[in-house]
Chain A
Amino acid sequence: MKPEWKEWAQEAKAEFPKANSALLPLLHRIQRAEGWLAPETLSDVAELLNLPVQYVESVASFYSLYFKQPVGKKVVHVCVGLSCMLAGSDELMHRLEEKLGVSQGQTTPDGAYTLLEAECLAACDLAPVAQVNLRYKGPVPPEKADELLKEEVSS
């Protein structure tokens, strides 16, 4: 457990009437700092908020934006919703996989990229749409896969 987590837990708790409401913001804050949420981190958070580990694990596993495995510096989400699929997201994903040499759901060995699929990102006007570290990019036709990977974004 990092010493600052205790402070963060206090700050998160102060914003809500009940401790379990502080869970999501605290997990986000720790993930921002650590990059991902290790099983031990979840136990630590449970202890900090005085919640059962079971509850924390259940919540953390429910939301796909909490990473339970280490991720790369850039996390690329490719939307696989209906509109994006009609606009060629399959091909986009395929090219990204080829370029990065990993399958969707995986991280490149150098730790630079993590490639993930996302269900509808609610930006059909930008189809096929993608996110790099949660920033919307689109439309990204398959041939622009290279450019997508070169996008400079803050982490």
Chain B
Amino acid sequence: MIADAAAKLGIDVPVYCYHEALGPLGACRMCLVQVEKMPKLATACTTAVSEGMVVHTRGPAVDKGRKGVLEFLLINHPLDCPVCDKGGECFLQDYTFQYGPPAGRFEEPKIQKVKDGPINEFILVDQERCVLCQRCVRFMGEYVGEPQLLLEGRGVETVVTTVDHEPATSQFSGNVIDLCPVGALLSVPYHHKARPWNIEREESVCTLCPVGCTTLATGRDGHIVRIEGRPVPDRSWGWLCDRGRFGFDFAVNPSRLITSYLEGREEAAARTTRQVGQWLRDAVSQHGGNSVAFVAGGLHSTEEAYQLNRFAREVVGTERLAVSRDVPGYLPRGLNGTFADIDDADAVVLIGTDPYESVPVVHLRLRDRARALPSLKLMGVAPRSLSRETLRVDTLVTHVGQEAAVLAAALSDAARGHAVLAELVSNGLGDLSGIDGEALAELGSTLVNSEHLTVLWDGLEADVEPVLVALQSVRGDKPTRVLPTWGPSNWRGFERAGFDARIESLTGILEDARDGKLQMLVLWGADLLREYPDQELVRQAYARVPVLVAESLFPPAGHESFKAILPQAGPGEVYGTYVNMEARLQVAMPSVQPPGQARPTKTYVTAWARAMEKPFVLQEDWDPYDDNSGDLVPEESVPREVRPIAPASSAPDGYELITGVLVIENGIPSDFLKPRVPQYPGRISPSDADRLGIRNQAVIKLSREGREMTAAVAVDPAMTPGRIYMPLGLADAPVNALGTGAVNVTVIEEVHSA
């Protein structure tokens, strides 16, 4: 299209309705250009470029055309710019200034419509300001596939509204605020909060899930008041999910640590820091450096992890370093793909993960690919169906813990006789009864025969790693790229900074702590009781280790066990680099100061080095970027050896507890998002609900061998019978207290919907 060609050349063509991701429409008429040999002005957004075409994007005819269009657009526009949130960053203002008539000739009264009406709890619509470009309607309907917005009425009475005037529930709804070229769709948290000249708008990165969406953070008076999507040319459209867009208020949540706790009492952070320095000094002098262990996690930047790593190794002299993990899987760097691998794929296989819930914006990317390539093979291997209205996924539903074995079986079938497969399944495949042979054959053929295979993996089954290594070996030169969907969102950055991200390191530290071999355990943003897959081990470790210290944004679970808790400076408060699930480094610039006594990592470790009287200078110029790989973490070759997987154990007779990441429930509190957090986050199939006598939702007790947890579940028709789903990491229903697998279920209380 002419509009795209002009944009590529840096020539400004004004548009309202056109967006490259949504395709041409030609509704707003703003992009009029003059094409030689065409009798009339043409819309640049619907006219394809052709050889020898001569286009004038300015000139008397073009300017007159645009002026006329603007006069019409402004006929019923309220011109309430002085009280409009968009004032100063509005395309209607900009283009009117550039092309528009200084005054309208229309003298009749303007039509009055709804102002500040609700789209949902996050978005307001001012129907008077709307220019009916339809970007929002088309984005929700065509791009997201959740058609919750519509144009209602005809002619001058047309308005943007929601289906049945009910709140829009899509988790991608906030994008319409960015898409709106005028002041019609407004952010509730930002409503009447600031003007463009009294904000700091910094390029940042969302750290709330591993996607690492590029953002603009708006700071005002020391608080972040808005997050917007930031498009990156040729890489990202700048979409965000509502979790990332509206969840920024965690920084000012009342539960945020802004002071420190020393042995349970609130205390000035400086004094607690000095005391921790003393403990470190004592531990190292009396028990040696290796009596202290450090676990990195949470929302720390790569630089902070680097500073902690150097402090731990050089000053404390310990090798006990680990990354907080909530799933046991690990992905070798050599297999890590990028989002471009989704755009190029002819087959995508989802292992365990539902992108809509764990990495929402990747779901949009997959949908984009599925729309561009209708023949895209989209398959899943998981203990529940991963298919959705917005994205059809042929899911091979397994029993819990059988994903690796099912994948290995499919692979062995399709690439019979390959040496590496013999090694992979040398312990046998185990009991895979109940798995449909035809589906298995189709999965195998997809895995082996696709030209460009992209895999998304949730890391819940560690044995999938050797399967992926074997798969790559079988496929040879054909691309086999994997995107890990687990957190902590910057785990690859911690690895880049020198931490071992494999769960074995963390397990080793916890076992040492339990066995009394550790003097001091320092958790850097890690909340292990909530995160580590075996809560009991963490409990025992916390009980046994003499000095337990945390640095964190929020009080960690079991905070009464901690001798000291220090407040952390969060993302957007210090400069930092974050590595996303593509292994891509992205910089987040700070837009506000850390609140209260929260300090960056550097402050703490420098103070402790001084307390320990050891020379320690942090290089300011450490740079996680690499000369050869640019903004990607350096490539590594894929390991050659394949460790054999454990055979699948037989499926239990009763219920199985399954889990997965639900990003809205990832433990970082947000008052804005509260209305979206499901009250019954667990899910149960209709037939199981019937059997248990549950109609809609209930509180149930799950138990196994003396351990138990209560879970609030709702009936979900998409669930496979025999499975009960609970999201990972819920504070009041921790799946890691029980572990996945066979459970006994009893109903505590049935809850009738209101």
Contact string, A30-61, partner B, CB cutoff 8 A, digits 1/0?
A: 00000000010001000000001111011001
Q: How far is the CA of A64 from the CA of B155 in the complex (A)?
A: 11
Closest approach, in angstroms, between the C-beta of A68 and any C-beta of chain B?
10
**Residues of A with C-beta under 8 A to B151:** 58
Instruction: Specify which chain B residues have a CB less than 8 angstroms from the CB of A53 in the assembled complex.
Output: 147, 163-164
Measured CB to CB, the closest approach of chain B to A143, in angstroms, equals: 31
- Kindly state the separation between the CA atoms of A62 and B154 in the bound complex, as whole angstroms: 5
Report whether A57 and B154 are in contact in the complex, using a CB–CB cutoff of 8 Å.
no
State whether the Cβ of B148 lies closer than 8 Å to any Cβ in chain A.
yes
Tell me if A16 is interfacial: C-beta within 8 Å of chain B: no
CB proximity of B162 to chain A, nearest CB, Å: 9
In chain A, what residue has the closest Cβ to B151? Answer: A58
User: Which A residues lie within 8 Å of B163 (CB)?
Assistant: 53-54, 57
Contacts of B154 in A (CB 8 A): 61-64
* B39 interface contact, C-beta 8 A: no
CB-defined contacts of B141 to chain A, threshold 8 Å: 52, 54-55
- A51 closest partner in B (C-beta): B147
Interface readout for A86-114 with B: 1 if CB under 8 Å, 0 if not?
A: 00000000000000000000000000000
A64: chain B residues at CB < 8 Å are 154
- CB A119 to nearest CB in B, in angstroms, measures 9
Q: Is the CB of B149 within 8 A of A54?
A: yes
Give the A interface residue count (CB, 8 A).
Answer: 12
A58→B160 CA distance, assembly (Å): 10
Q: Quick one: which of B120-149 are within 8 Å of A by CB?
A: 137, 141, 147-149
Nearest CB of A to B114, in Å: 14
Confirm or deny: B109 has a beta carbon within 8 angstroms of a beta carbon on chain A: no
**Whole-angstrom distance between the alpha carbons of A64 and B152 in the complex?**
11
Indicate whether B60 reaches chain A with its CB closer than 8 angstroms: no
B153 at the interface (CB under 8 A from A): yes
Determine if B148 and A61 form an interchain contact, defined as CB atoms under 8 angstroms apart: no
Q: For the complex, is B296 an interface residue (Cβ under 8 Å from A)? A: no
- Within 8 Å CB of A63, what residues of B? 154
B contact residues around A61 at 8 Å (CB): 152-154
Docked pose: A133 CA to B141 CA in angstroms: 36
- Asked whether, in the complex, the Cβ of A54 is within 8 Å of the Cβ of B153, the reply is no
Q: Is the CB of A58 within 8 A of B150?
A: yes
What is the minimal beta-carbon distance from B150 to any residue of chain A, in angstroms? 4
Tell me, rounded to whole Å, the shortest Cβ–Cβ distance linking A139 to chain B.
27
Contacts of B150 in A (CB 8 A): 54-55, 57-58
Within 8 A of A (CB), among B137-189: 137, 141, 147-154, 163-164
The residue in chain B whose Cβ has the minimal distance to the Cβ of A64 is B154
Given contacts A52-B141, A57-B152, contact A39 B147 (CB under 8 A): no
Indicate if the CB atoms of A57 and B164 lie closer than 8 Å: yes
Interface residues in A101-136 by Cβ distance below 8 A to B read none
Chain A residues closer than 8 Å to B147, beta-carbon distance: 52-55
Cβ contacts under 8 Å, A57 to chain B: 150, 152, 163-164
Closest A residue to B141 using CB positions: A54
Contacts of B148 in A (CB 8 A): 54
CB-based nearest B residue for A59:
B150
Q: How far is the CB of A66 from chain B (nearest CB, A)?
A: 11
Find the B residue at minimum CB distance from A60.
Answer: B152
CB contact list, B338-385 vs A, under 8 A = none
**B120–chain A nearest beta-carbon distance, Å:** 15
Chain A residue contacts of B137, Cβ below 8 A:
54
Chain B hits for A58, CB < 8 A? 150-152
Task: Provide the bound-state CA to CA distance between A55 and B152, in Å.
Answer: 10
Q: How far is the CA of A61 from the CA of B152 in the complex (A)?
A: 5
In angstroms, Cα B152 to Cα A57, docked, is: 7
Q: From A58, which residue of chain B is reached at the shortest CB distance?
A: B150
Contact string, B415-436, partner A, CB cutoff 8 A, digits 1/0? 0000000000000000000000
- Rounded to whole Å, the gap between the CB of A83 and the closest CB of chain B is 20
CA distance A55 to B137 in the complex (A): 10
Whole-angstrom CA separation of A57 from B164 in the bound complex: 8
CA distance A58 to B148 in the complex (A): 11
Q: Give the contacts of A60-87 with B (CB-CB under 8 A).
A: 61-64
Q: Can you give 5 contacting A-B residue pairs, CB < 8 Å? A: A43-B164, A52-B147, A53-B147, A54-B163, A64-B154
Other A-B pairs beyond A54-B141, A54-B149, A63-B154, 7, CB < 8 Å = A52-B147, A54-B147, A55-B141, A58-B150, A61-B154, A62-B153, A62-B154
Interface residues of B (CB under 8 A from A): 137, 141, 147-154, 163-164
Interchain residue pairs A-B with the least CB separation, the first 8: A54-B147, A52-B147, A61-B152, A54-B150, A58-B150, A62-B154, A54-B163, A53-B163
